[in-house]
Structure 1
């Protein structure tokens, strides 16, 4: 090489160093560890019209805007695990309320709202679950751009205030406004950042970390119903609900102190949603699969206590069956997260949905009117759906760049929120159409899960091929 060639090489190296670029380390070259998808360029959302070379750095600020292959993750350490604990506290307060809706529905249907049908009361809790996911259409992008501080703080104030006000509700519109709308928005402000923040600290171990954080929803789903069942008898509705509000306040103090983001926003980060990402076939199919999954998920969560009462069990057992389901979901959120890091989140999700289908058609339908049958169903359903709740965000993360994780996750669950909105009332209408019998509801729940596993397998197929044993 002549002198001019050597000078040209040196000039290129100097330009690269000035732009904040560097050769990848040996760890970053491991595409299996840092990027499970062999085509990371598919995950870069370029909506500002800039050429690819300008996506990599910001010359004015000097801040590197990393691409998928350049990202480094702590994968542990004190700060990372404190974020997981903060997320656990936030999810205990938000998903814990969501996993207690069967108790709320059963109690108010037989007390304050005695004159209303199951389907009418179900709309209150459908609006709540729908808003928990729908509001993420802006909360996810806001997290990507600005971080979690104001989101978590606002959500904490709204949830605690909503629970406290619910203690004095007596009319249908009181419950709809207070729990359905107010708590729905507040829980969304907590739920989305709590899930998304974990992804900023883990990639190889994201399944385990997300699973551990999401066990908070299962723990809340055990503690809240048992606490309320005891307090309803001792101090009545008002002070039972206020006690729940104080417990949420305690948990959310830790969430506000510990949840934070690590990666800087992407150069083209925006606080607005972007539905153009549905052009990616794998993401579209995954969203359809999650839609059907959530459509069927909340039906047993909302109606299992009512089903127990209709099957002749006493009120004590009807209230206790929900904590049994949620206790099983704690294991279902933690253990499959560990498996997902080894066999892939899509595979783990599909296996869990298979368990859900088995639980509906082989256990609940023929044996649900017996105590052992209903308990076995609750354990199987809780374990399987606990995995789905914790691993579905990891599946979304497999299809996007981490700095756009909040946007992809929020866009997916904005569509899914429609399923949450109509699922519980549809379930009530099916029960009414069957003359108060629940067999049609069980068949319908199982069918939603069959359609879900088919769509998720199709999403995997278009991403990495159709071999069922492929790790993805």
Structure 2
């Protein structure tokens, strides 16, 4: 096989082949996230065919999402690397690039939701799944677009490179099976791992990780239970699929417009706050959902929830990059999406168990809403505490820095001396003709 040409660049190009990377990531999100969301349309079919309750049937969707985020299997081998590649190719336009790339999830949902319902009616659920499987094979084309790029910050520090190079030259004279060679390999591996995953010890990333757990718990059940909930309040099958389409198309608008807006100069420094706002708004939508029991009320809900869902999904990589930097973005995103796995696994079955136990969707939706609101509040509180500490440290440093005090006192003394000189010059000018203070 021919070697893959690795593009070298000192900084992200913010264009060029990067737009092909965005197109590839766009197709990846269609083939992964959109197809996964359409499992909601299969929910009633599975429940009827296998004669199981809500909790048991929900495991199908939750296992798909969990394995995608948890392992190196299936969709996971496509989804996380594609998203990380967009972050490598873009810096100044990162939010916009992610907005376009992640909009594939919404576009795919908009198109696939009615198509899947039609396929189920024509070929039953087994035939519909086979056709979806053939469509997902397009991931092979997406992978062919991913061209690696090496940035300046990706290189190891000179000290580490010198140590590894020196050790390698020393161990070349030794048998490859000797203990020294194994020791060198272990040392280099430890160095690489330490550099790659040092962000795990950052307090900001730990708070983000905890917040992601609550956010992921809340966001998953809606895509499983929106169609069953709509059917339970008297909406027809086609109208329920239409709600998923609406959610998908508004998701696209949220992806692109929020990415574009947060790239503007007025909001570029507030992308973190925009992320918190979007997550919190989705939580509020959940709290209102039990009161919406007709199609005219469920349509605005789908619009609002879909918009802010697309908004915060776009900003997850941006917020992660702000915390860990571009160099560790790929690994950090892997950890962030890995953290989605456990909530994705347990939240739909828990929501199904609550529906089976209470006979209503209210408790399940309220729990999801409060979970997302708590995720937003936790991140906001952590950022507030950090800024307060930073302000306090700056104040202490200003008070305790003798150089700063001397400079301030010197500036004051200089200004006083200058005023006295000016007054003295003015008094002399009035008494001595032709005298100038300058």
**TM-score normalised by L of structure 2:** 0.73
* Corresponding residue for residue 68 of structure 2: 132
Indicate the structure (1 or 2) with the bigger Cα radius of gyration: 2
User: Given the alignment of the two structures, is residue 100 of structure 1 paired with residue 26 of structure 2, yes or no?
Assistant: no
Deviating above 6 A after TM superposition, structure 1's stretches of 4 or more consecutive aligned residues are 271-275
Give the Cα separation in 1 of the matches to 2:387 and 2:99. Answer: 24
Q: What is the CA-CA distance between 1:448 and the residue it aligns to? A: 0.8
CA RMSD of aligned residues (A): 2.5
Give the Cα separation in 2 of the matches to 1:99 and 1:274. Answer: 32
User: Given the alignment of the two structures, is residue 121 of structure 1 paired with residue 9 of structure 2, yes or no?
Assistant: no
Q: What is the CA-CA distance between 1:315 and the residue it aligns to? A: 1.9
Q: What is the CA-CA distance between 1:218 and the residue it aligns to? A: 1.2
User: Given the alignment of the two structures, is residue 258 of structure 1 paired with residue 145 of structure 2, yes or no?
Assistant: yes
Relative to 1, partners in 2 of residues 1:465 and 1:128: Cα closer, same or farther, differing over 3 Å? farther
Structure 1, unmatched stretches of 5+, are 1-62, 140-184, 468-472
Matches within 5 A, 1:269-280: 270=192, 277-280=199-202
Give the Cα separation in 2 of the matches to 1:402 and 1:205. Answer: 14
User: Given the alignment of the two structures, is residue 414 of structure 1 paired with residue 338 of structure 2, yes or no?
Assistant: yes
- The answer to whether the 8 A contact 2:283-2:371 is kept is no
For residue 316 of structure 2, the aligned residue among 360, 381, 392 is 392
Give the Cα separation in 1 of the matches to 2:285 and 2:134. Answer: 36
* Corresponding residue for residue 241 of structure 2: 319
Q: What is the CA-CA distance between 1:383 and the residue it aligns to? A: 0.9
* Corresponding residue for residue 200 of structure 1: 88
Q: What is the CA-CA distance between 1:273 and the residue it aligns to? A: 11
Q: What is the CA-CA distance between 1:194 and the residue it aligns to? A: 1.1
Q: What is the CA-CA distance between 1:276 and the residue it aligns to? A: 5.7
Relative to 1, partners in 2 of residues 1:452 and 1:257: Cα closer, same or farther, differing over 3 Å? same
Give the Cα separation in 1 of the matches to 2:283 and 2:99. Answer: 22
Give the Cα separation in 1 of the matches to 2:196 and 2:326. Answer: 16
Give the Cα separation in 2 of the matches to 1:334 and 1:261. Answer: 25
Greater mean deviation of Cα atoms: 437-446 or 296-305: 437-446
Give the Cα separation in 2 of the matches to 1:76 and 1:339. Answer: 19
- The answer to whether the 8 A contact 2:106-2:310 is kept is yes
User: Given the alignment of the two structures, is residue 357 of structure 1 paired with residue 249 of structure 2, yes or no?
Assistant: no
Give the Cα separation in 1 of the matches to 2:116 and 2:133. Answer: 11
- The answer to whether the 8 A contact 1:196-1:406 is kept is yes
Relative to 1, partners in 2 of residues 1:80 and 1:443: Cα closer, same or farther, differing over 3 Å? same
- The answer to whether the 8 A contact 1:339-1:348 is kept is no
Q: What is the CA-CA distance between 1:241 and the residue it aligns to? A: 2.3
Matches within 5 A, 1:180-195: 185-195=73-83
Give the Cα separation in 2 of the matches to 1:272 and 1:375. Answer: 49
Q: What is the CA-CA distance between 1:463 and the residue it aligns to? A: 5.3
Q: What is the CA-CA distance between 1:89 and the residue it aligns to? A: 1.0
Relative to 1, partners in 2 of residues 1:310 and 1:270: Cα closer, same or farther, differing over 3 Å? farther
- The answer to whether the 8 A contact 2:106-2:248 is kept is yes
* Corresponding residue for residue 84 of structure 1: 22
**TM-score normalised by L of structure 1:** 0.68
Q: How many residues align?
A: 345
Q: What is the CA-CA distance between 1:213 and the residue it aligns to? A: 0.3
Give the Cα separation in 2 of the matches to 1:119 and 1:218. Answer: 26
Relative to 1, partners in 2 of residues 1:352 and 1:237: Cα closer, same or farther, differing over 3 Å? same
Give the Cα separation in 1 of the matches to 2:201 and 2:192. Answer: 19
